[in-house]
Amino acid sequence: MAQDFHKCSVLFGVYVKLNSQQKLLLVCVYVDDLMVIGDEEAEIERFKENKIQLIHCNTEEQIANIFTKPLRQHRFEKLRNMLGLKQLDNLD
């Protein structure tokens, strides 16, 4: 996402921007919807005036499916690997 946004490392689909006065603008992307939250109404309006290009993400690349859908084992393992998680064989 352009305009000096940074992808949140904790929350999926959340982008953060701080302006020079340390005013916050958050953009949350969920499926085909945007939620815009910020400290300044003018900054929110500037954001809304700009054109935004959303790129389709194929269902094979939707990592969130691991949390929201029943999956076959091979699909689960692929998404788990995409998240960087490892299987623990023994917890002792």
Same domain, 35 and 77: no
Half-sphere exposure of 43 (CA within 13 A, CB side): 20
10 Å Cβ neighbour count for 61? Answer: 10
What digits encode the pLDDT tens for the residues 73-86?
Answer: 999 888 888 888 77
- Residue 85 lies in domain: 57-92
Long-range contacts of 19-25 (CB under 8 A, 24+ apart): 19/43
- Asked if residue 80 and residue 46 are part of one domain, the reply reads no
Q: Within this chain, do residues 20 and 51 fall inside the same structural domain, yes or no?
A: yes
Q: Domain check: are 78 and 89 in the same one?
A: yes
Are residues 37 and 13 part of one domain?
Answer: yes
pLDDT tens-digit map of 33-73: 888 999 989 888 888 888 666 677 777 778 888 888 899 99
Q: Looking at the structure, tell me whether residues 48 and 77 fall in a common domain.
A: no
How many domains does the chain fold into?
2
Q: Quick check: helix, strand or coil at residue 4?
A: coil
Residue 14, classed as helix, strand or coil, is strand
